[in-house]
Amino acid sequence: MIFGKIEYLNLLPFHVFMKRYLKGSQQQQILQYKRGVPAQINTAFKRRRVDAAFISSIASRRCKCLNLGIMARQEVKSVLLLPGKELSDKESATSNVLAKVLKLQGQVLIGDKALKHHLTHQDDAIDLAKLWYERQHLPFVFARLCYHGKTKTYEKLSAQFLRSSHKIPYYLLIKASQRTGIKPQDILEYLSLIEYDLDRHALLGLKRFLRLSDALQKSALTPH
């Protein structure tokens, strides 16, 4: 099994779970990770170079996906827009489209670098998930766990992860802090904003976002 691995903090609880879930099992011996940022993992999944991964919402259409993903009910702190000159984040797919759906112009920042920016420059950026909630009154889904192959394997993995406590061992929290330059307490506060169980409100938010992105694309293709 080749699993697409995104090293952002929002997936730290899932990576910790995977170590426990596969510990001592035969699966662990055959599990391989392909690391990359969301845009790279989207491409690798589409080309079947990975068997499963958290795929950006905008790229997850027509994929086999579970109701396990990365979601924020209101603010998220790690998906920001700096007003000014329009500049997409090459690591992102969904967030770049979200900025356009929200009719915003500026520089998109995602992931750990966006969280770090929020913690040091709290007044100069727009939290895109927060603005989405203010306008739509729905959570925003950034990614879904999608897969190729046998459904039952991933259904079992997903169910066990959603039942787990998502507690981060202290030594791994320190390791993540050293890697990102973000304080352990700030990491924990950030993770409290992230949810993984895509309930009906989350799926409704996802459906609305995809519909609005379709309308945006059609408008761009229509001669004016």
Residue 193, domain member (yes or no):
yes
- Domain count for the chain: 1
CA atoms within 13 A on the CB side of 89: 26
Least confident of 27-41, 70-84, 153-167: 27-41
Residue 224, domain member (yes or no):
no
Identify which of 64, 108, 113, 117 has the alpha carbon closest to the alpha carbon of residue 84: 108
Q: In which domain, by residue range, is 74 found?
A: 2-199
- Mean pLDDT of all residues in 186-213: 97
| Residue located via tokens 């729905």 | 138
pLDDT band of residue 139 (cuts 50, 70, 90) is very high
pLDDT band of residue 185 (cuts 50, 70, 90) is very high
Residue 131, domain member (yes or no):
yes
CA atoms within 13 A on the CB side of 28: 10
Stronger pLDDT, 4 or 204, i.e. the higher one: 204
Please determine, for residue 209, whether its predicted confidence score (pLDDT) is greater than 90.
yes
Indicate which CATH number applies to the domain containing 172.
3.40.190.10
Residue 76, domain member (yes or no):
yes
Residue 160, domain member (yes or no):
yes
Q: What average pLDDT is seen over the chain? A: 90
Residue 185, domain member (yes or no):
yes
Residue 64, domain member (yes or no):
yes
Residue 6, domain member (yes or no):
yes
Q: What is the pLDDT of residues 87-100, one digit of tens each?
A: 777 878 889 899 99
pLDDT band of residue 201 (cuts 50, 70, 90) is very high
pLDDT band of residue 20 (cuts 50, 70, 90) is confident
- Mean pLDDT of all residues in 53-59: 94
Please determine, for residue 30, whether its predicted confidence score (pLDDT) is greater than 70.
no
Least confident of 17-26, 68-77, 132-141: 17-26
Please determine, for residue 222, whether its predicted confidence score (pLDDT) is greater than 70.
no
Residue 4 tokens, joined = 């697409």
DSSP for 40-86, please give it: HHHHHHHTTSSSEEEEEGGG-TTSEEEEEEEEESS--SSEEEEESS-
